[in-house]
A and B are shown apart, each in its own frame.
Chain A
Amino acid sequence: MDIKGTAVISKSGRIKRISGPVIVAEGLEGVQMNEVVRVGKAKLIGEVVELAGKDVSIQVYEETSGLRPGEEVESSGSPLSVELGPGLIGSIYDGIQRPLDIVMKKSGNFIKRGIAVYGLPKDKKWSFRPSVKKGDAVKPGNVIGSVKETAIIEHKIMVPPGVEGIVHEISSGEFTVEEEVAVITGADGSKTGIRMYTKWPVRLKRPYNRKFSPVEPLISGQRVIDTFFPIAKGGVACIPGPFGSGKTVVQQQLAKWTDADVVVYIGCGERGNEMTDVLQEFPELEDPYSGEPLIKRTVLIANTSNMPVAAREASIYTGTTIAEYFRDMGYKVALMADSTSRWAEALREMSGRLEEMPGEEGYPAYLASRVAEFYERGGRVECLGGGREGSLSIIGAVSPPGGDLSDPVVKNTLRVVKVFWGLDDDLSSQRHFPAIHWLRSYSLYLDNINDYCAANIGKDFTDIRNTAMSILQKEESLQEIVRLVGEESLSDRDRQVMDTAKMIREDFLQQHAFDPDETYTPIGQQYRMLKSIINFYDTAVSAIEEGSRFENITILSVREKIARMKYITKDRMGEFDDIDREIKQQIKGTKDGSDNR
């Protein structure tokens, strides 16, 4: 079946050559690029990746040991697609949308080959509530009804692209995804039945009306990200870093705490235990916005490093298509891909097997365009059908060899993403987490979200952030002097800069992901925390100018309260005012000549 539902005749051919995950078949004349095929007696799932005369190259998504030349290859007539409909939320899929819990029921603790399972439960009944009536005119993308999929997600049933006309029939009640809930009469009188699920080819981006620039920040509760290097809703970001620098922890923190409606988390070629961790933790953790378990807004794609490499290549597209589908409903979706380097390596491996001419470091020459295409699927859009706005934010981890940022995957990624969170090995070995380096990272969304921040967080939010950045920058240059001649030789004013920078680093930038009290800091608290630190700095500097000694400022008791600001909860916001007052009083005290505290 293709996406419009017209049947295509399937053909069959035979295997000619097998080399790892790539096989060559013949006798499949007329087969299309990216068409799904079933390979051999074991019926392994594969995809057509090259057509050369009679020879068809196929990448196989499962282990190919045991295949023999001459075995049958069957074409399905449709490209690699995912099923989109109720039942996605809370699922854990492999790279080609096979639910791993069902796979486990069928094949046990280890994944056997050739297992055919549907992406969506076909027997589960969902309660469908229509939102159009008979006689209404509908266009592609129009919502005709909805299903309450989880406590958080209202799953909207949309008219698929290509279908337009008058609602002829519309039902209400309990249905499975296979049953028709509406019939639409086209202009030519043809009747199209609408079910609650559709299929969509993963390599094709889903259509929308218009794209806009992002204007709103995606809040994650991570101080260094939200305040210093924010990503916008509909923005794209990358986190490169060597192993052990904390990429996965940052990704998981984002998956847990972003204020997105739906989160799609792709574990692409990474550790199995990490996916297990997410699976065990998410049903128990509470979404800070809705109070419901996090799993009720999450879709997981797990193609771990020991699972077949071709499916790893597909996993990125499978995840993105699911994310786009929720975006089309008008949701704010965040997609995390950990790690895009493994995806690029899968591309490289497949390319090598196809004997293509290699580009840099053996990666295929089309790496740059594939990376760009992937990140371009992010964005803030007016959804198809109109009247709704959705966004898809994409955050990709990159694992460059040896942490080397001249790696082709990093270079090509930096060309398209607008936020760069650079992880630093030195910081992580000092256990400064998140190890995002404040001088090397950047965000190009600061201007986009400026108005939003001024209106919703604080008028001086951007100014405070910029002051803090310049203090950190100044620290770096002062560090060099200190390394040569010692700290004593600095002026009191410069020592105050060093002192404040340390305060920003230790009391603001560092954040303990595993401490339940600190793992998430709402943006309002972030603003007040940094404001108090800058307030301390400003007051101290002017006191120093009026004759206070730096030594006396370093022993003030309010500093301890500043160090503990991260634990101030939303209902105790008044404490920030107390701290600001104390800063003023105590620093004023240092001016009065004596050493009083």
Chain B
Amino acid sequence: MKQEYFTVKSIAGPLFYVEKTQNVSYGEIATVRLPSGEERLGQVLEVNEDVVLLQLFAGTSGANLNNSRVKFLGKGLELPVSKDIQGRIFDGLGRPIDGAPEVIPERKLDINGLAMNPYARSYPDEFIETGISAIDAMNTLVRGQKLPIFSGSGLPHNQLAAQIARQAKVRGKGEEFCVVFAAMGITFEEAEYFKNDFQKTGAIERAVMFLNLADDPAIERLATPRMALTAAEYLAYEKDFHVLVIMTNMTNYAEALREVSAARKEIPGRRGYPGYMYTDLATIYERAGRIKNKKGSITQIPILTMPNDDKTHPIPDLTGYITEGQIIISRELEHNNVYPPIDVLPSLSRLKQKGIGEGKTREDHSAVTSQLFAAYARGKQAKELAIILGEAALSDVDKSFSKFADEYEKKYVSQGEYIDRSIEESLDLAWELLRMLPKEELKRVKEEHIRKYMK
């Protein structure tokens, strides 16, 4: 029988100070019974000899000092797992909300997980075909990668993530694939969009969804991605699935982190976010990967909206330092009716080099996309120049680059939500577009490839 404490000394924001405690451990979970009889979960943030600092996930409204009863459970937050979690929908703390009965757990796993030994990792180098040219050809996604989508409010990042989930495949292999979805502070409609999309494709059968919606307690969000990743690790490393984890929206997660930090009166770092936000985000993102002696893998697509479309804001900035590249969505392209509006120049996949080439995609992949990058960059420069000096001031060569940039956006980047292009189609299309340019300007592709692929 666990001891109950009536010794709440003070309450501030989501925090409880409980006195005269005994034998409480750092990081353990407690339940708080409010005067109304409602029970809420909390986590121990600090332990002194006889005072404990407790953070309540669902906030402290309705709590008082005299009648709130605190019970420490002697363990951290856990997720009950079994193969039956597939096809289920949970709330942000891992409790079922789909009306079906509780999962009969095979085991209970600590949601914080442990750090993967870098020595045990296997370097991600298996090409994932998403069917989207701006990703497959230009910023290739590989198995075990963490590749976030940097977006802005009102941009179609959800459609893009859903399209990736729908179309992603590793070619020539009939391996088991599933999606784990973590929603943090998004609206009911956004969550429904994903649910419906998974239903349409049948992916829902194998998907696991954790939903913390906009009106759910903000602090709960701190646990949601960890719940999802614990489920993903179980499916990947114990059940051999290749798991795609979609986490949206990381911006809401970081806001919740700031809220707790402020309530604890910690010294704030940049823009009020706590100094440990980098480390905290890393404990989420670094759970992507592959392990040498395991079949499964975890690929992460976190989505975040850049406040004010600013890439240097702490949330995208720290994320970019941890993840292996980023896909940047551009408002300008969206206005020009380009879907997906991926701005390929600042986008990047750090793991591209080892996932492409002969035997993986095609021998000309690296060179031809390098040529596309260079030509598109030059075309955009020429267009800028034309704005200042007028079209007439451009040389003939620059004019052809400027025209190329337009066509590239219109035909290559833009492809529609339900178009699934194979990598060969993407590369062939690249060669077709390059025909617009004078041949002597194609310095980054080999002569033999021009002969072979430029039809």
- Could you tell me which A residues sit within 8 Å of B by CB distance? 16-19, 63-70, 92, 100-101, 103-104, 107-112, 242-244, 267, 269, 271-273, 275-277, 279-280, 302, 304-309, 342, 345, 348-349, 352, 358, 361-362, 399, 401-404, 425, 429-431, 483-486, 514, 563
Contact = CB atoms under 8 A, between A and B. Distances in A.
B286 A272 contact: yes
Interface in B276-317: 276, 278-279, 282-283, 286-287, 289, 291, 293-294, 311-314, 317
Nearest to A304: B118
B286 A271 contact: yes
B49 A17 contact: yes
Nearest to A339: B321
Given A19-B45, A68-B26, 12 more contacts: A69-B48, A108-B117, A110-B114, A242-B317, A267-B118, A273-B124, A302-B118, A306-B116, A307-B115, A349-B275, A401-B317, A563-B443
Contact of B123 (A70, A273, A402): A273
Most buried by A among B115, B269, B350, B373: B115
B266 interface: yes
Interface stretch (B191-199, B385-393, B431-439): B385-393
B204 interface: no
Nearest to A267: B118
Contact of B114 (A112, A276, A304, A430): A112
Contact of A243 (B124, B317, B353, B393): B317
Contacts of A103: 117, 119
A18 B48 CA distance: 6
A243 B270 contact: no
Given A244-B326, A361-B270, A349 B118 contact: no
A358 B118 contact: no
B115 A67 contact: no
A365 to B, nearest CB: 13
B219 to A, nearest CB: 17
Contact of B286 (A63, A101, A302, A305): A305
Contact of B46 (A18, A66, A279, A484): A18
B12 interface: no
B373 A309 contact: no
Given A244-B320, A273-B124, A348-B275, A111 B294 contact: no
B266 A430 contact: no
A273 B117 CA distance: 10
Most buried by B among A276, A308, A404: A276
Contact of B144 (A273, A342, A401, A403): A273
Contacts of A66: 25-28, 76
B237 A362 contact: no
Nearest 10 A/B pairs, CB to CB: A402-B312, A65-B27, A305-B282, A306-B286, A110-B114, A243-B320, A100-B119, A18-B26, A109-B120, A275-B118
8 contacts: A17-B49, A65-B26, A69-B23, A108-B117, A111-B116, A242-B312, A273-B144, A483-B388
Interface string B333-371: 000000000000110101101000000000000000010
B345 A309 contact: no
B25 A67 contact: yes
A272 B279 contact: no
A389 B176 CA distance: 59
Contacts, number: 193
A486 B317 CA distance: 37
B116 A352 contact: no
A401 B26 contact: no
A305 B113 CA distance: 14
Nearest to A17: B48
A104 B370 contact: no
Nearest to B348: A244
B152 interface: no
Nearest to B322: A305
Most buried by B among A69, A279, A345, A563: A69
B121 A272 contact: yes
B374 interface: yes
Contacts of A107: 117
Contacts of B322: 271, 305
B268 interface: yes
Contacts of A101: 119
Contacts of B225: none
B377 A429 contact: yes
Given A18-B47, A306-B115, A273 B348 contact: no
B24 interface: yes
A309 B276 contact: yes
Contact of B115 (A18, A110, A280): A110
Chain B's interface size range is 35 or more
B153 to A, nearest CB: 20
Contacts of B1: none
B47 A109 contact: no
A67 B26 CA distance: 5
Contact of A109 (B49, B237, B351): B237
A100 B120 CA distance: 9
Contacts of A242: 312, 317, 320
Interface of B: 23-28, 45-50, 76, 112-124, 144, 237, 266-270, 275-276, 278-279, 282-283, 286-287, 289, 291, 293-294, 311-314, 317-318, 320-322, 324-326, 345-346, 348, 350-351, 353, 370, 373-374, 377, 385, 388-389, 393, 443
A424 B112 CA distance: 36
Given A109-B293, A306-B287, A349 B47 contact: no
B117 to A, nearest CB: 5
Contact of B353 (A271, A273, A483, A514): A514
B63 to A, nearest CB: 23
A109 B117 contact: yes
Contacts of A361: 269-270
Contacts of A279: 118-119
Most buried by A among B266, B286, B370, B377: B286
A468 to B, nearest CB: 21
Contacts of A309: 276, 279
A425 B443 CA distance: 23
B385 A483 contact: yes
Given A110-B113, A273-B351, A361-B270, A65 B118 contact: no
Nearest to A66: B25
B312 A404 contact: yes
B369 to A, nearest CB: 10
A109 B289 CA distance: 12
A243 B267 CA distance: 25
B377 A345 contact: no
A17 B47 contact: yes
Contact of A486 (B25, B115, B326, B389): B389
A225 B377 CA distance: 25
B370 A431 contact: yes
Contacts of A563: 443
A111 B119 CA distance: 10
B321 to A, nearest CB: 5
Contacts of A100: 117-119
Contact of B118 (A243, A276, A403, A484): A276
B323 to A, nearest CB: 8
Nearest to A483: B388
Most buried by A among B76, B269, B321, B373: B321
Nearest to A16: B49
Contacts of B373: 430-431
Contacts of B313: 402
Contacts of A280: 123
Contacts of B266: 352
B147 to A, nearest CB: 12
Given A69-B47, A244-B326, A486-B389, A306 B117 contact: no
A349 B282 contact: no
Most buried by A among B144, B237, B270, B291: B270
A108 B124 CA distance: 20
A68 B123 contact: no
A347 to B, nearest CB: 10
